[in-house]
Amino acid sequence: MTNSTPAPQTPLLQVRHLCKYFPIMSKGFARKQIGAVKAVDDVNFDLMRGETLGLVGESGSGKTTCARTILRALAPTSGQAIFDTGDGVVDLAQVSEKDLKPLRQKMQMVFQDPFSSLNPRMTVGDIVGEPLVIHKLARGKELQDRVDEMLLKVGLRPEHRQRYPHAFSGGQRQRIGIARALIMKPSLVVADEAVSALDVSVQAQVINLLADLQDEFNLTYLFVAHDLSVVRHICDRVAVMYAGKIVELAESEELFENPRHPYSQALLSAVPSIDPDIKMNFDIGGEVADAGKLPPGCPFHPRCPHRFEPCDKVVPWLEPVEGSTTRTACHLYIPPEKIAAAGAAQAGSN
């Protein structure tokens, strides 16, 4: 989904040092905190207007938590999420609940499960129009007109307004969810596994729809997904998460053609090709990382085929890869003297 108009490159969203930790409590009566799940740990990225940024990584790597923390559906532990409202910037991490409410109109989420995310007792018209009612933006005839218009936009018909979600197929329900998200004319849409539950044939329809709507409304997408071929198809840039951190941030083509981080390489090589003559990598070894019990140093080091001396001691950070726009968090790409300096600093802070 490329944006053809070269918009001025002001980020719509700047995420800085964002952290979300969940407490781990002891068992028994006197429950006290004995640790933390670092679900999102010092995440940094910019989201440009009109672009689609993919967020990928294995289950439990923090994709959903990251998205929800940005939207303040979860309170961040620390960090910033600076959002350009159109007339000024606000830090979503700091803003009060009261000031947040009008901002929520500009940020909408489309969920994975088209079955459970729609209230079965509401008609499609009520579901799609509800955000306008909550924010007191329209009622009566105007409300109806806007609902009808939105239904048409997502490929449903105005007469569907009276029906209940159970009368629709999975793909149609996902369209209802999209209509509901877009009726507020948001600038930022977070799609969390929005096409993952759909059958291939319907998935393609919904992907095309998302692309059309992006063109029409100049939407910015944060696209959370685990299906890498879908991500490759629609994202301009991709952030790869591992154990709560972004380990690689790259332009889409660059990532898929030339992944730099050993985890990105493992992830891409494990995707089964539909060509029986191209063999996938069946066994990268090791267990998925446990965000509640991370190893010291690079969180990927127990599984990494390239690990070397500093890897189990010094935590790597996102550094630009020479001669490319990619940034990655791996000691292979960081000059030794920087690693040594960081090692001393990190040892000092523990």
Partner 1 sequence: MTNDTVLQIEDLKTYFYTEQGEIPAVDGVTVSLQRGKVLALVGESGCGKSVTSYSILRLIRPPGKIVGGKILFFPSDGVEPVDIAGLDETSDALYSVRGGHISMIFQEPMTALSPVHTINNQISEAILLHQDVTPAQAREMAIEMLRKVGIPGAERRIDQYPHEMSGGMRQRVVIAMALVCNPEILIADEPTTALDVTIQGQILKLIKDLVSERGTSVVFITHDLGVVAQVADDVAVMYLGRVVEKSDVRGVLKTPLHPYTMSLLQSLPGLGHRGARLPAIRGSVPNLTDIPPGCPFHPRCPHAVRGRCDVGDRPALRTFSNGGQAACVRVEEIHPHVHEVGHSNDPRVAPATV
The residue type found at 300 is F
> Structure tokens of 34?
């004995």
Decide whether 87 or 275 has the Cβ nearer to partner 1. 275
Please report how close the Cβ of residue 74 comes to partner 1 at its closest, in angstroms: 22
* Helix, strand or coil, per DSSP, at residue 120: coil
Question: Which residue in 175, 260, 307, 327 binds ligand SF4 (CB under 6 A)?
Answer: 307
**Segment contacting ligand ATP (CB under 6 A): 59-67, 99-107, 213-221, 227-235?**
59-67
Q: Measure the CA–CA gap between 225 and 58, rounded to whole angstroms.
A: 10
Query: Residue 103, interface with ligand SF4 (CB under 6 A)?
Result: no
260 contacts: CB under 8 Å, gap ≥ 6: 248, 250, 321, 324, 326, 328, 330, 333
DSSP annotation of 191: E
> Structure tokens of 197?
């539950």
Decide whether 172 or 328 has the Cβ nearer to ligand SF4. 328
Decide whether 228 or 291 has the Cβ nearer to ligand ATP. 291
Question: Which residue in 3, 11, 16, 22 binds ligand ATP (CB under 6 A)?
Answer: 22
Greatest CA separation found in the chain? 69
| Sequence-distant contacts of 289-295: CB under 8 A, at least 24 apart | 289/58, 289/60, 289/61, 289/242, 289/243, 290/60, 291/37, 291/38, 291/39, 291/60, 291/61, 291/62, 291/243, 291/244, 292/24, 292/35, 292/36, 292/37, 293/35, 294/38, 294/243, 294/244
193 contacts: CB under 8 Å, gap ≥ 6: 111, 112, 224, 225, 226
> Structure tokens of 54?
């993919």
Question: Which residue in 12, 15, 19, 37 binds ligand ATP (CB under 6 A)?
Answer: 37
Q: Which segments of 286-335 does DSSP mark as H helices, in order? A: none
Decide whether 63 or 331 has the Cβ nearer to Mg ion. 63
Question: Which residue in 54, 62, 76, 262 binds ligand SF4 (CB under 6 A)?
Answer: 262
Decide whether 211 or 332 has the Cβ nearer to partner 1. 211
Q: Answer with the entry of Mg ion, partner 1, ligand ATP, none that 200 interacts with (C-beta below 5 to 8 A by kind).
A: partner 1
Question: Which residue in 138, 284, 332, 342 binds ligand SF4 (CB under 6 A)?
Answer: 332
Q: Answer with the entry of Mg ion, ligand ATP, ligand SF4, none that 307 interacts with (C-beta below 5 to 8 A by kind).
A: ligand SF4
Q: Answer with the entry of ligand ATP, Mg ion, ligand SF4, none that 304 interacts with (C-beta below 5 to 8 A by kind).
A: ligand SF4
Question: Which residue in 61, 108, 172, 326 binds ligand ATP (CB under 6 A)?
Answer: 61
Question: Which residue in 266, 298, 318, 321 binds ligand SF4 (CB under 6 A)?
Answer: 298
User: Within 13 Å and on the Cβ side, how many CA atoms surround 309?
Assistant: 4
The residues of the shown chain that bind partner 1, judged by CB under 8 A, are 1-2, 58-59, 169-172, 199-205, 207-208, 211, 226, 228-230, 232-234, 252-253, 266-267, 270-277, 279-285, 287-288, 290
Residue reference for tokens 């009808």: 148
- Specify whether the CB–CB gap between 24 and 193 falls below 8 A: no
Please report how close the Cβ of residue 300 comes to ligand SF4 at its closest, in angstroms: 5
CB-nearest residue to Mg ion:
64
> Structure tokens of 294?
């991370």
Query: Residue 317, interface with ligand SF4 (CB under 6 A)?
Result: no
Of the candidates 150, 66, 166, 72, which has an alpha carbon nearest to the alpha carbon of residue 116?
166
Interacting residues toward ligand ATP by CB under 6 A = 22, 37, 39, 57, 59-65, 226, 291
Interacting residues toward ligand SF4 by CB under 6 A = 261-262, 298, 300-301, 304, 306-307, 311, 316, 330-332
Interacting residues toward Mg ion by CB under 5 A = 64
